[in-house]
C-alpha cells in the first residue's frame, strides 16, 4: 500500500508540473488577442485615412482645373470677372478712348488672364466708391469721419453718382436676409441693431455739392429728428450684427444665399463616413 501511495503521489506531482509548464508555453506562444485586434484596427484606420485623403485631393484638383477652364471660356453672368469687364471703360488707360472695348471671345479670355492681377482703385479714373461712418464735427464743419473703400466698385464720375449709400446696403440686407419664422426685432426684448447712416448721407452730399454752408445744421437737424440710425433686422443679444464690410460684400456679390452650405455638409458627411468605417474596422 505504501508503494502504491508513493507512486500515485509521484505521478500527481509530475502531472501538475507538466500542466503548469504547458500553460506557460501557451501564454508565451499565443499573442495577446487584444493587442492583435488593436494593431489590426490601427492599420485599417491608417488605410482609410490615406484613401480619403487621396480622393479629397483628387476631387479638389479636378474641381480647380474644371473651374479654371470654364471661366477661361466664359465669365459667369454675376461673377467677379463680369464685374471687372463692365467697368473696364473707367480704367485710366481706357477712359478717354472714343469706343468701348469689344467683348469678343478673345477679349473675354484676355480679361480672365488679367484677373490674375486684379485692378486696384488707383487703376480707375475716379477711384472707388466709399462708405462713410462715425462723423465728428464742431460748430462749423465736420472734423473727422471713418471711410470704407468699396474695392471692386469704381466710380463712374467724380461725384460717384453710381455708388450706393450705406442706407441702401442696410435696406438691401434686410430685404434679402429676413429673420426666420417671421421674427421681428422690433418685438424682441432688446430691440434691433442699428447702423449710423446719416453720416454717409451728409458726407456724400458734401462730395456731390462741394460742401454747403449748412451741412452741420442739416446733420444736426436729421440727427435730432431720429434719422441718424437705420435698423437692421437682427435682434440685439440674439442674432449676430453684420459689419459694414459684410454689408458691402453682400451688395458687391449680389446678396449670395446663406441658407445652405453644400461644402460644409459634404465635409460633415465625409467625417461621419470616416468615423463609421473606423468604428466598423475596430469592432470586426
Spatial distance between the Cα atoms of 41 and 45, rounded to a whole number of angstroms: 6
73, three cell numbers = 471660356
Spatial distance between the Cα atoms of 235 and 192, rounded to a whole number of angstroms: 5
The answer to whether residue 120 sits within a structural domain is: no
Q: How many domains does the chain have?
A: 1
The 10s digit of each residue's pLDDT in 261-279 is 445 555 555 666 666 565 5
The answer to whether residue 73 sits within a structural domain is: no
91, three cell numbers = 480704367
Are 171 and 230 contacting, i.e. CB atoms less than 8 angstroms apart?
yes
Spatial distance between the Cα atoms of 131 and 197, rounded to a whole number of angstroms: 9
The answer to whether residue 160 sits within a structural domain is: yes
Instruction: Say which residue, 109 or 243, is predicted with more confidence.
Output: 243
The answer to whether residue 264 sits within a structural domain is: no
Nearest in space to 177 (alpha carbons), one of 242, 243, 132, 248: 242
The 10s digit of each residue's pLDDT in 191-230 is 999 999 999 998 988 766 555 557 788 888 888 999 999 9
The answer to whether residue 111 sits within a structural domain is: no
Spatial distance between the Cα atoms of 102 and 79, rounded to a whole number of angstroms: 19
The 10s digit of each residue's pLDDT in 52-105 is 888 788 888 887 877 656 554 544 444 445 556 677 788 887 777 654 444 444
Q: What is the mean pLDDT of residues 245-255?
A: 94
The answer to whether residue 157 sits within a structural domain is: yes
Contacts of 82 (CB under 8 A, 6+ apart): 75, 76
The answer to whether residue 258 sits within a structural domain is: no
The answer to whether residue 77 sits within a structural domain is: no
Which domain, by its residues, includes 242?
126-253
Q: What is the pTM of this model?
A: 0.59
Nearest in space to 253 (alpha carbons), one of 153, 178, 171: 153
Instruction: Say which residue, 15 or 221, is predicted with more confidence.
Output: 221
What's the confidence (pLDDT) of residue 216?
84
What residues are paired with 264 via a beta bridge? none
Amino acid at each position: 500500500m505504501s508503494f502504491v501511495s508513493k507512486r500515485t503521489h509521484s505521478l500527481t506531482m509530475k502531472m501538475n508540473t507538466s500542466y503548469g509548464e504547458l500553460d506557460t508555453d501557451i501564454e508565451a506562444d499565443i499573442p495577446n488577442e487584444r493587442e492583435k485586434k488593436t494593431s489590426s484596427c490601427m492599420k485599417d484606420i491608417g488605410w482609410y485615412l490615406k484613401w480619403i485623403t487621396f480622393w479629397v485631393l483628387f476631387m479638389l484638383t479636378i474641381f480647380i482645373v474644371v473651374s479654371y477652364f470654364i471661366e477661361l471660356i466664359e465669365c459667369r453672368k454675376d461673377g467677379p470677372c463680369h464685374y471687372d469687364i463692365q467697368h473696364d471703360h473707367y480704367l485710366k488707360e481706357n477712359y478717354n478712348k472714343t469706343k468701348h472695348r469689344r467683348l469678343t471671345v478673345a477679349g473675354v479670355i484676355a480679361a480672365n488672364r488679367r484677373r490674375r492681377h486684379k485692378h486696384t482703385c488707383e487703376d480707375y479714373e475716379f477711384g472707388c466708391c466709399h462708405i462713410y461712418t462715425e462723423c465728428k464735427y464742431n460748430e462749423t464743419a465736420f472734423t473727422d469721419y471713418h471711410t470704407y473703400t468699396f474695392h471692386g466698385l469704381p466710380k463712374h464720375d467724380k461725384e460717384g453718382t453710381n455708388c450706393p449709400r450705406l442706407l441702401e446696403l442696410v435696406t438691401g440686407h434686410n430685404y434679402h436676409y429676413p429673420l426666420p419664422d417671421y421674427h421681428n426685432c422690433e418685438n424682441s426684448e432688446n430691440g434691433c441693431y442699428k447702423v449710423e447712416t446719416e453720416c454717409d448721407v451728409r458726407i456724400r452730399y458734401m462730395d456731390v455739392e462741394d460742401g454747403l454752408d449748412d451741412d452741420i445744421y442739416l446733420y444736426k437737424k436729421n440727427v435730432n429728428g431720429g434719422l441718424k440710425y437705420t435698423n437692421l433686422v437682427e435682434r440685439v443679444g440674439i442674432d449676430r450684427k453684420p459689419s459694414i464690410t459684410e454689408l458691402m460684400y453682400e451688395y458687391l456679390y449680389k446678396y449670395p444665399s446663406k441658407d445652405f452650405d453644400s461644402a460644409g455638409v459634404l465635409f460633415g458627411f465625409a467625417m461621419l463616413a470616416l468615423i463609421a468605417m473606423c468604428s466598423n474596422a475596430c469592432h470586426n
